[in-house]
């Protein structure tokens, strides 16, 4: 290995090796940025293994198993060895290491467990995080653990972060402002072409057309990026027999066996071409020999976590600019290439610069559980580029407490320790622990492995069918998966209880909130957490009354079931017996306007049954009635004319005088129904039976003691005219108003006021025919001013009524003049 750098000096990353070696000789941390195809994944670990400070192992962390396996094999071949010698790999279902291994390539989750089981990383001198730009949750957490180990236990530990597209400044800042080494690289030129998809056209159709067209016009193999397995299978089916006998179509995604993945990345036979249909698994770290054409759909399928439901669903979104650059770079790794992008050129600038870090949009329950095992209650005590959101941490704690993993104080329980010891997400770990207690530990572990290993047992949504196929599968991957299940179940290869247990009976321990009942027709379900989900009507599960859902995809309002199992028979009876909640509820019936009492059985948000009760509880009925009034609005209350006037009078006093007169606006009254409404409507269960006088008494209660007499003094209901007439006062937004015939005010030399003489009434002066003449808030001023014009106009119209020149000196009257006067 002594001449490794010299033998591979043609690799573009070679120009960065000297400054990188210097940086890690002088300090513990470094960041390396190098373009796709530079050789950083394979050459850098081999070169660092020769450094005098390295006496132990290098751990190289890759984001995917395919990349880890490919990197280990490439490095071993560069040394002229087999995997398992100087270079080995370790991943969930496959391990190739020996006592001689000095460079160990692992996946992100494996490194996390290594650190948790050996907090000082004994025997490890250097940890390399490759393709860190992908910002997987496990990568961020792994780096946080490595930094914690370095600062607390291992000052000699070297940490190197590598990527082709990376926000180097932020990463270097996290690593104590370490050196950043950039390799310009010598990748081949790539011609970028844009080919916009027809609006509304499915990506599978656009991709098929693009592959056929460029296959005819260009030479070399093609790498096509699609968002997921479904699209890959459809494009492969469309291309069948359409590219000629000398072209092989190869899928490439995480759910394939290692043999199938190896077939996709190995060079085509001489004289042949290949078309590789890949998910983002092929973006980085691997070289697919012979590829000089990349076709990019511009799409990626990412998990999106919904804290409110605890569901992580897959959503197809636009890829980032960094991902688009990574994908295009695949075309120029071994020769000049072409990158075809299935979107308009102008859209590139609108793409996000980098992918959203998973730590900001993921279920953090596994990380919180691991942090507790690490001795850290709050993950934010560790060093992250992007600290985990506080709300997501609280949601994770709530889930873990519900699973029995942590206690009320947030500490690990015995069950939590058993769950953390399993290399599984907390929900599935809980299922395995429950299965072990029930004598079905191996079956639970099998199901857990099936759910975490894509493609095992096929693609059916029905997990019982997939389990059956998985158990009969004698392939290498299925055999390794069963061996993993045996390890997870404590070494057992069968259950202590005889007979196969239905998948749903196990799933309820992991997903109690995703028990679902058919509602609204075949294939339509409502979950216990209140969300809806659908499955194709032709699917066997579509006719089930109850299912337990393990996996969903799509938008929240139109979630599609990807994996579920039917819940029936004894398993359903047991779930209903242990999880059903009985309650007596009062519900407002809008049609009758009355509160009805009923006994309801519920499983979460699922209503199982309901039956009417003869008489509702008074307090519950009033609560339901108040809720209905708030929904309908204040118009639901049948105020009498006197009640409406009382409310107007109080509103007037509140506006004019302020405290202690209360706010009686619509919203204020709705907000305080329990204070002024409920106590004055005892035993009432319907809107029709509401007591109008009780409404008035309730309003008065808001005004405090003595309100009845005080409001009568400050805001009277009537104005008593000089003639003795009692005229109603209208309390309007413009102020209190009285309509009165002008003759009844003769002799008044002061303007009428209320509120203890502080607020003038608005006088709406009427003619003898009760028609408005004029409005005033200054009666003496009216007598002195406008009266002369009014008198001149009115005398001719109403000659039998008095129209004195000086009304302030005349007697008030309700009568006409005697005949002949």
DSSP class per residue in 589-628: ETTTTEEEEEEEEEETTEEEEEEE-SS--HHHHHHHHHHH
299-316: pLDDT as tens digits = 988 877 776 666 676 778
Mean pLDDT of 215-222: 92
Residue that the structure tokens 């309100």 belong to: 707
Which residue, 320, 27, 302, 327, is CA-closest to 179? 27
Residue 531 lies in a domain: yes
For residue 814, tell me if it sits in a domain.
no
Spatial CA neighbour of 564 closest among 500, 520, 506 = 506
Tokens 């990188």 identify what position? Answer: 20
Domain limit, last residue, from 155, 182, 209: 182
Instruction: Tell me the β-bridge partners of 764.
Output: 739, 775
Nearest to 114 by CA among 138, 87, 96: 138
What is the structure's pLDDT at 821?
Answer: 53
- Tell me the percentage of the chain whose pLDDT exceeds 70: 97
CB 742 within 8 A of CB 771: no
Do residues 482 and 630 share a domain? no
CB 571 within 8 A of CB 502: yes
| 667 against 282, higher pLDDT | 667
Residues 694-725, buried b or exposed e (16+ Cβ, 10 A)?
bbbbbbbbbbeeebeeebeebbbeebebebee
In angstroms, rounded to a whole number, what is the distance separating the alpha carbons of residues 641 and 414?
68
Model confidence at 633, pLDDT cuts 50, 70, 90, reads very high
Alpha carbon separation from 699 to 643, 663, 677, 678 (Å, rounded): 9, 10, 8, 11
Higher pLDDT, 498 or 158: 158
Same-domain pairing of 163 and 198: no
Average confidence (pLDDT) over 175-203: 88
Residues 658, 534: one domain?
no
Which residues have CB under 8 Å from 361's CB, separation 6+? Answer: 303, 304, 305
User: In the predicted model, what is the mean pLDDT of residues 578-606?
Assistant: 89
Q: Residue 703: which domain range?
A: 584-715
- Looking up tokens 């559980």 gives 369
In a domain, 532, yes or no: yes
Q: What total number of domains does the chain contain?
A: 5
* Average pLDDT, integer, range 520-531: 90
User: Which phi-psi region, left, alpha or beta, contains residue 706 (left: φ > 0; alpha: ψ -120 to 50)?
Assistant: left
Whether 792 and 735 map to the same domain: the answer is: yes
Q: Is it the case that residue 820 has pLDDT exceeding 60?
A: no
pLDDT at 447: 94
The dihedrals phi and psi of 408, each to the nearest 5 degrees, come to: -65, -25
CATH number for the domain spanning 294: value is 3.40.50.300
Least confident segment among 186-195, 401-410, 488-497, 606-615: 488-497
Residue 556 pLDDT more than 70?
A: no
Tokens at 464, concatenated: 């019982």
Q: 470-480 pLDDT, tens per residue?
A: 999 998 888 98
d(CA 388, CA 363): 10
Lowest mean pLDDT among 275-289, 636-650, 657-671: 275-289
Q: Give kind and range of the element (H or E) at residue 563.
A: strand 559-566
**Measured distance CA(705)–CA(760) in Å, rounded:** 26
Let me know if residue 381 belongs to a domain: no
Beta bridge partners of 31: 161, 180
* pLDDT tens digits along 681-725: 998 999 999 999 999 999 999 998 877 788 888 999 999 999 999
Mean pLDDT of 133-138: 88
Do 673 and 708 reside in the same domain of the chain? yes
DSSP code string of 784-801: HTTHHHHHHHHHHH-TTS
Whether 563 and 643 share a structural domain: no
Q: Check whether residue 573 and residue 599 sit in a common domain.
A: no
Pick the residue with more confidence: 175 or 585? Answer: 175
Q: Are residues 222 and 354 in the same domain?
A: yes
Q: How far apart are CA 791 and CA 350, in angstroms?
A: 77
The answer to whether the beta carbons of residues 668 and 651 sit under 8 Å apart is no
Domain membership of residue 114 (yes or no) is yes
629 and 770 inside one domain:
no
**Average pLDDT of every residue of the chain:** 89
Residue 485 burial by CB count (10 A; 0-12/13-18/19+): exposed, middle or buried? buried
CA distance 101 to 89: 9
- Rank 8-12, 41-45, 323-327 by mean pLDDT and report only the highest: 41-45
Residue 302 burial by Cβ neighbours in a 10 Å radius (0-12, 13-18, 19+): middle
Q: Does 317 score more than 60 pLDDT?
A: yes
pLDDT at 443: 93
Last residue of a domain, one of 182, 203, 233: 182
**Number of CB atoms found within 10 A of residue 166's CB:** 23
User: Could you tell me if 338 and 440 lie in one domain?
Assistant: no
What pLDDT score does 307 carry?
67
55, part of any domain: yes
47 lies in the same domain as 109:
yes
Confidence of residue 65 (pLDDT cuts 50, 70, 90): confident
Cβ atoms of 563 and 549 within 8 Å: the answer is yes
Q: Does residue 400 sit within a domain?
A: no
Do residues 550 and 501 both lie within one domain? yes
pLDDT of residue 489: 87
User: Which of 413, 438, 408 has the alpha carbon at shortest distance from 426?
Assistant: 413
160, part of any domain: yes
Q: What is the pLDDT of residues 277-301, one digit of tens each?
A: 988 877 766 777 788 999 999 998 8
Beta strands in 235-368 (DSSP E): 247-252, 273-278, 291-296, 299-306, 311-318, 337-341
Among residues of the chain, what percentage have pLDDT more than 90? 57
Of 579, 600, 632, which closes a domain? Answer: 579
Instruction: Return d(Cα 15, Cα 758) in angstroms, integer.
Output: 91
């Amino acid at each position: 290995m002594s001449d490794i750098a010299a033998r591979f000096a043609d690799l573009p990353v070679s120009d960065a090796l000297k400054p990188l070696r210097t940086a890690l000789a002088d300090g513990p941390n470094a960041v390396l940025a190098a373009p796709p195809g530079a050789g950083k994944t394979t050459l850098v670990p081999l070169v660092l293994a020769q450094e005098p400070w390295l006496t132990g192992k290098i751990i190289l962390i890759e984001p995917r198993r395919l990349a880890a396996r490919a990197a280990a094999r490439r490095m071993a071949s560069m040394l002229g060895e087999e995997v398992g010698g100087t270079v080995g790999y370790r991943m969930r279902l496959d391990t190739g290491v020996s006592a001689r291994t000095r460079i160990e390539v692992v996946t992100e989750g494996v490194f996390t467990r290594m650190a948790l089981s050996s907090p000082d990383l004994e025997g490890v001198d250097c940890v390399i995080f490759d393709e860190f730009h992908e910002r997987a949750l496990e990568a961020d957490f792994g780096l946080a653990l490595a930094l914690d180990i370095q600062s607390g236990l291992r000052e000699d530990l070297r940490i190197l972060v590598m990527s082709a597209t990376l926000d180097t400044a932020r990463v270097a800042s996290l690593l104590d402002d370490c050196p950043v080494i950039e390799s310009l690289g010598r990748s081949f030129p790539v011609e970028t072409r844009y080919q916009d998809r027809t609006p509304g056209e499915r990506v599978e159709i656009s991709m098929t057309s693009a592959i056929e067209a460029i296959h005819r016009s260009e030479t070399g193999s093609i790498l096509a990026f699609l968002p997921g397995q479904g699209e890959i299978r459809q494009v492969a089916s469309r291309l069948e027999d359409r590219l000629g006998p000398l072209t092989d179509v190869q899928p490439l995604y995480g759910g394939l066996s290692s043999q199938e993945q190896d077939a996709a990345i190995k060079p085509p036979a001489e004289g042949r071409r290949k078309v590789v249909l890949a998910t983002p698994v092929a973006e980085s770290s691997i070289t697919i020999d012979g590829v000089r054409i990349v076709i990019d759909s511009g799409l990626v399928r990412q998990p999106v976590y919904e804290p409110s439901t605890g569901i992580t669903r897959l959503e197809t979104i636009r890829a980032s600019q960094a991902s688009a650059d990574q994908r295009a770079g695949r075309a120029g790794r071994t020769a000049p290439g072409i990158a075809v992008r299935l979107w308009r050129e102008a859209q590139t600038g609108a793409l996000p610069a980098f992918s959203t870090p998973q730590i900001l949009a993921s279920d953090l329950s596994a990380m919180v559980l691991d942090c507790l095992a690490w001795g850290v209650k709050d993950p934010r005590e560790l060093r992250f580029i992007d600290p985990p959101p506080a709300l997501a941490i609280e949601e994770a704690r709530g889930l873990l407490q519900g699973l029995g993993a942590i206690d009320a104080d947030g500490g690990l329980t015995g069950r939590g320790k058993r769950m953390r010891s399993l290399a599984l997400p907390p929900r599935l770990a809980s299922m395995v622990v429950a299965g072990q207690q029930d004598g079905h530990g191996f079956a639970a572990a099998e199901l857990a492995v099936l759910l975490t290993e894509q493609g095992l047992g096929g693609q059916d949504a029905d997990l019982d069918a997939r389990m059956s196929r998985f158990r009969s599968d004698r392939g290498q991957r299925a055999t390794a998966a069963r061996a993993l299940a045996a390890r997870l179940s404590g070494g057992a290869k069968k259950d202590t209880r005889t007979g196969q247990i239905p998948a749903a009976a196990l799933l309820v321990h992991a997903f109690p909130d995703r028990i679902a009942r058919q509602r609204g027709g075949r294939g339509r379900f409502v979950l216990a957490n209140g969300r809806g989900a659908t499955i194709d009507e032709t699917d066997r599960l579509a006719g089930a009354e109850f299912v337990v859902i393990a996996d969903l995809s799509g938008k929240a309002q139109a979630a599609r079931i990807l994996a579920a199992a039917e819940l029936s028979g004894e398993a359903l009876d047991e779930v209903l017996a242990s999880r059903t909640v009985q309650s007596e509820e009062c519900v407002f019936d809008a049609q009758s306007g009355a509160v009805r009492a009923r006994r309801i059985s519920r499983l979460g948000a699922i209503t199982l049954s309901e039956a009417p009760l003869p008489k509702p509880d008074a307090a519950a009925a009033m609560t339901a009635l108040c809720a209905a009034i708030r929904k309908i609005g204040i118009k639901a209350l049948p105020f009498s004319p006197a009640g409406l006037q009382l409310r107007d009078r109080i509103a007037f006093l509140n506006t004019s005088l302020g405290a202690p007169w209360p706010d009686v606006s619509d919203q204020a009254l709705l907000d305080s129904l329990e204070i002024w409404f409920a106590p004055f409507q005892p035993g009432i269960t319907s809107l029709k039976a509401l007591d109008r006088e009780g409404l008035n008494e309730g309003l008065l209660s808001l005004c405090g003691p003595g309100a009845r007499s005080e409001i009568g003094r400050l805001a009277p209901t009537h104005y008593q005219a000089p003639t003795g007439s009692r005229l109603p006062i209208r309390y309007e937004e413009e102020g209190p108003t009285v309509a009165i015939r002008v003759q009844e005010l003769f002799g008044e030399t002061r303007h009428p006021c209320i509120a203890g003489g502080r607020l003038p009434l608005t006088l709406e002066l009427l003619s003898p025919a009760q028609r408005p003449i004029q409005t005033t808030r200054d009666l003496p001023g009216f007598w002195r001013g406008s009266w002369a014009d009014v008198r001149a106009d009115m005398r001719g119209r109403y000659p039998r009524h008095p129209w004195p020149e000086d009304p302030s000196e005349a007697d008030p009257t309700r009568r006409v003049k005697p005949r002949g006067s």
